[in-house]
Amino acid sequence: MDKTETYVKMCDCPEIQDYRTLDLIYGGRYWAEGDYYWLSEKVNDYYSLSSRPSNYYNAIWLPRQDQLQEMCWELTGTKWTPFFALTMVRDFANENRHGETMEQLWLAFVMKEKFNKVWEDGKWQEVPA
C-alpha cells in the first residue's frame, strides 16, 4: 500500500475523494472495511495512516490498487480482463512515465482516462483538448 507523501497529495482531489462520498441524511463519507486514510492532523509529529479514521472530515482516502482498477471498469461498463487491464496500463506507462508505485501509476491512468488530467508540478492539471 502506497503511503508516500506524493501519493497522499495525488489522492487529495475531488475526483478521487468523491468516490467515497455518499449523500446520506446525516452527510459524511463511507468507510469500507480495509480502506486506508491519511489523517491531516499530526500525531506525535507524524501524519497518521489509519484503517478507521477518528476524524473523517480531515481524512484523505487512499484507494488501493484494486479500487483504482474498479474505477477503470466504469469506463467500459464491464469488468476488464486482467490481460486487457494490464495492456492498457502498460501502454499508458510507456507513453507517460507516471508513477513510482503501482498505485501512483493506476491513479494517473484513472485520472487521465476518466477526467483528462495529468500529474504535473505536484498537482492535477487538465490536458488541453
* Averaged pLDDT for residues 40-60: 61
Share of the chain above pLDDT 70, in %: 71
Task: Give the C-alpha separation, 117 to 120, whole Å.
Answer: 9
* pLDDT tens track for 5-45: 899 999 999 999 887 754 433 444 455 667 777 876 655 44
pLDDT, residue 3, reads 86
Q: Does 69 or 32 have the greater pLDDT score?
A: 69
Neighbours of 64 (CB within 10 A): 16
* Averaged pLDDT for residues 55-82: 76
Residue 113 included in any domain: yes
pLDDT, residue 122, reads 93
- Nearest Cα neighbor of 7 from 63, 70, 50, 53 is 63
Residue 32 included in any domain: yes
pLDDT, residue 85, reads 77
* Number of domains present in the structure of the chain: 1
Domain enclosing residue 68, as ranges:
5-124
* pLDDT tens track for 96-114: 777 789 999 999 999 998 8
Q: Is 103 exposed, middle or buried (0-12, 13-18, 19+ CB in 10 A)?
A: buried
Residue 30 included in any domain: yes
123 - beta bridge partners? 120
Share of the chain above pLDDT 90, in %: 28
pTM here is 0.79
Residue 25 included in any domain: yes
Residue 129 included in any domain: no
